[in-house]
Amino acid sequence: MTDSPLRIERDGAVAILTLDRPTSRNSLNRELSLALGAALRDVAGDPSVRAVVLTGAGDGFCSGADLKAGVTEIGAAPLDQRVDEFHAMIRGIVEAPQPFVAAVHGGAVGFGADLALACDLRILSTAGYLQEKFVKIGLMPDGGGTFWMPRLVGLGRAMEYLMLGTRLDAPLALELGLASRVVAPAELREAALAVARELASNAPLALTAIKRAVRASLDGGLDAALEREKQGQLRLLASEDLVEGVLAWSQRRPPTFHGR
């Protein structure tokens, strides 16, 4: 379908999944989140796919949940079900046997940052950045951000970046090890494909074993982290501060939070 919010391509043994809502900087409405979840399940079950590139169309990787669509989608599913649908995307990346490469141009913000962090490798353009911005609208990361960030950058920096909603531009992401390399915007797609092709040329069983062993070596469990985030996020979704944060965002003004 030409109007699908997710573009799926093949480059030999590499699958390319492109979030394709460029006018909203690839924000995740329900249609896109369900489409990506389904595509990840399909990819995981396809032995002809040896590596996956996840990227976004236009000027952004993914700006997170679509706040505007969220207003009209209220009632489409219970909030805990919607959180589970978002978690399915993270689990789909982590549990797939293939290595995932995030190709980040523009912002990977909020849940978009969680998607990028869930991937095994991240390549950023010089205009790319990561930002766990949830706190700015009165929420917390709910896609594994509290799991990935301290393991990737350390507890102290993770607290700072998550609590302040710090924007991590490409040079800093590279310095921190969040990005494996940084390239010019025009070179991003080919750079990500080159890495994915090299991964795809390696023994798939070995790649799967490495991916699973490395992830299993992390202290604690993703499921526990996601459950903590789910319960915390459900409480925050019922808060007045969320209403204020979204209103302030839509009105382009600083929010005034009251802690309730």
Q: Give me the pLDDT at residue 254, please.
A: 92
Is a pLDDT exceeding 60 seen at residue 71? no
Residue-averaged pLDDT of the chain:
93
Q: Has residue 243 been placed in a domain?
A: no
Domain that holds residue 90: 6-185
Residue 1: what pLDDT?
43
Buried b (16+ CB within 10 A) or exposed e, 17-34: bbbbbeebbbbbbbebbb
One-letter identity of residue 232: G
Catalytic residue among 66, 114, 120, 142: 142
Q: Is residue 242 part of a domain?
A: no
Paired tokens of 136: 């700015």
76: pLDDT strictly greater than 80: no
**What's the confidence (pLDDT) of residue 127?**
98
pLDDT at 216: 86
pTM listed for this prediction? 0.91
pLDDT of 74 over the 60 cut: no
Say how far apart CA 112 and CA 173 lie, in whole Å. 15
Q: Model confidence over 182-198: pLDDT tens digits?
A: 999 999 999 999 999 99
CATH number at residue 57: 3.90.226.10
For residue 47, give the DSSP letter.
T
Contacts 24+ apart (CB under 8 A), 218-224: 218/151, 220/147, 222/90, 222/91, 222/94, 222/144, 222/147
CA gap 60, 128 in Å, rounded:
8
Question: Among the options 66, 87, 105, 120, which is catalytic?
Answer: 87
Beta bridge partners of 138: none
What's the CA gap between 99 and 207, in Å, rounded?
7
Flag whether 95 is in a domain. yes
pLDDT, tens digit, for every residue of 117-131?
A: 999 999 999 999 999
Instruction: Specify the pLDDT at position 218.
Output: 82
- Given a contact cutoff of 8 angstroms between Cβ atoms, the answer to whether 184 and 95 are in contact is no
Distances in whole angstroms, Cα of residue 31 to Cα of each of 23, 101, 251: 15, 23, 26
pLDDT-derived band of residue 79, with 50, 70 and 90 as boundaries?
confident
Annotation marks residue 258 as catalytic: no
142 labelled catalytic? yes
Q: Which of the two residues, 80 and 192, has the higher pLDDT score? A: 192
Determine which of 26-30, 32-36, 70-74, 208-212 has the lowest per-residue pLDDT on average. Answer: 70-74
| CA atoms lying within 13 Å on the CB side of residue 143 | 29
Q: Is residue 211 part of a domain?
A: no
Helix/strand/coil for 28: strand
* Pairwise CA distance, residues 40 & 89, whole Å: 7
